[in-house]
Amino acid sequence: MNGPEQREGRIERRFAALRQAGRSGLVTFLTAGDPDRDSSLRVLRGLPAAGADLIELGIPFSDPMADGPAIQRASQRALSAGQTLSGTLSMVAEFRRGDEDTPIILMGYYNPIYVYGVEQFVADAGASGVDGLIIVDLPPEEADELRIPAEAAGIDLIYLTAPTTDDDRLAVVLEHAGGFVYYVSITGITGTASASRADVAAAVERIRRHTALPVAVGFGIRTPEQALTMASAADAAVVGSALVDRLAGHVSENGSAGPGLVDDVLSFVSELAEGVRQSATKGAAE
């Protein structure tokens, strides 16, 4: 990001700070509005203090085709409670009033954005303080219509790569990648199997041959120990379904949040952060 019109974004600053501190980062995923907007916002506001280095906020969608049961149910809970895309953007804006530094990446499927209107969405997301977008069902071949206006608004389009992404394909995927690279460590949906450290380390090395962007590893990371293992093989570890499961444990049959929800989710984030903070210095190779 060294074009004259580009300022250094929060994502870039955060990864630079992590490198400086000699450790890898923790990326947390939760679905916006799960199980209701108020609880979700309270968790969101508590994440930086609990140790989340970057925040992924899921855009609820009726048909989350790449997600396992935990995140499917999270989407359903949020939608049942009335969460909309504009409601999600306003949550980010409220979060930004108390935190100018922690990057927020919206993650979801393309249809809600397309229906919102790409130009309008990019303008509103930028104004709300969104730093990046991960759109699961928008491969590079289809991404220009979102990527170009997003980049113009200073929002990175972050791409996923998978074990099935061979070197030829990596070159295509990473050509326009921004922010960081999200390595999906298993061939599967969220919240299912876990990969081995050796496989992940090899994959991350392969990605690094194609890009200088930081690499975050996700899918199947459930414990502080796994978070440390994966984070130390990359620049950051993403924890999603396990956090969503933790949250879901405090949601009653009728969808309302129990009294301990916010504190318990944040204390789990603290445990994960403690794990990740033990990651060794990786040097400044990249």
Partner 1 sequence: MDGLNTYRSGPDEHGHFGIYGGRYVAETLMPLILEVERAYDEARADPAFVELYNDYLKNYVGRPSPLYWAERLTQHLGGAKIYFKRDELNHTGSHKINNTLGQILLAKRMGKTRIIAETGAGQHGVATATVCARFGLQCVVYMGATDIERQKPNVFRMKLLGAEVVPVTAGAGTLKDAMNEALRNWVATVEDTYYLIGTVAGPHPYPQMVREFQSVIGKEAREQIMAAEGRLPDTLVACVGGGSNAIGLFHPFLDDEGVAMVGVEPAGHGVETGDHAASLTAGDPGVLHGNRTYLLQDADGQIREGHSVAAGLDYPGVGPEHSWLRDTGRVTYATATDAEALKAFELCSRIEGIIPALEPAHALAYVMGMAGDLPKDHLLVMNMCGRGDKDVFTAAAELGVEL
Q: Which residues contact 251 (CB under 8 A, 6 or more apart)?
A: 35, 77, 257, 258, 261
Cα angle: 226, vertex 244, 133; to 5 degrees = 90
CA atoms within 13 A on the CB side of 5: 5
Give the number of other CB atoms < 10 A from CB of residue 208: 17
**C-beta of 59 vs 273, nearer to partner 1:** 59
91-150: contacts with partner 1 (CB under 8 A) = 109-116, 136-139, 141-142
CA-to-CA distance for 113 and 31, rounded, in angstroms? 16
Instruction: Annotate each residue in 150-169 with x if it binds partner 1 (CB under 8 A) or - if it does not, as one string.
Output: ---------xxxxxxxx--x
Let me know if 222 is exposed, middle or buried by CB neighbors in 10 A (0-12, 13-18, 19+): middle
**C-beta of 69 vs 258, nearer to partner 1:** 69
Instruction: Annotate each residue in 56-75 with x if it binds partner 1 (CB under 8 A) or - if it does not, as one string.
Output: -----xxxxxxxx---x---
Residue 56 a catalytic site member:
yes
Tokens standing for residue 12: 């870039």
How many residues make up the chain in this entry?
Answer: 286
- Select which of 12, 53, 56, 131 is catalytic: 56
168-187: contacts with partner 1 (CB under 8 A) = 169, 173, 184, 186-187
76-95: contacts with partner 1 (CB under 8 A) = 79, 84-85
Starting at the edge strand found earlier in the chain, the sheet holding 156-157 runs 156-157, 132-135, 104-108, 54-58, 25-31, 236-239, 215-218, 181-184, 159-161
Instruction: Annotate each residue in 217-236 with x if it binds partner 1 (CB under 8 A) or - if it does not, as one string.
Output: --------------------
Instruction: Annotate each residue in 19-48 with x if it binds partner 1 (CB under 8 A) or - if it does not, as one string.
Output: ------------------------------
Q: Are 157 and 133 in contact (CB under 8 A)?
A: yes
- Select which of 67, 124, 131, 235 is catalytic: 67
Residue 34 a catalytic site member:
no
**C-beta of 66 vs 267, nearer to partner 1:** 66
CA-to-CA distance for 140 and 138, rounded, in angstroms? 7
Is 8 a binding residue for partner 1 by CB under 8 A? The answer is no
**C-beta of 17 vs 115, nearer to partner 1:** 115
Reduced to 3 states (helix: H, G, I; strand: E, B; else coil), residue 52 is coil
Q: Catalytic residue numbers? A: 56, 67
User: In the complex, which residues of this chain contact partner 1 (CB under 8 A)?
Assistant: 61-68, 72, 79, 84-85, 109-116, 136-139, 141-142, 159-166, 169, 173, 184, 186-189, 192-193
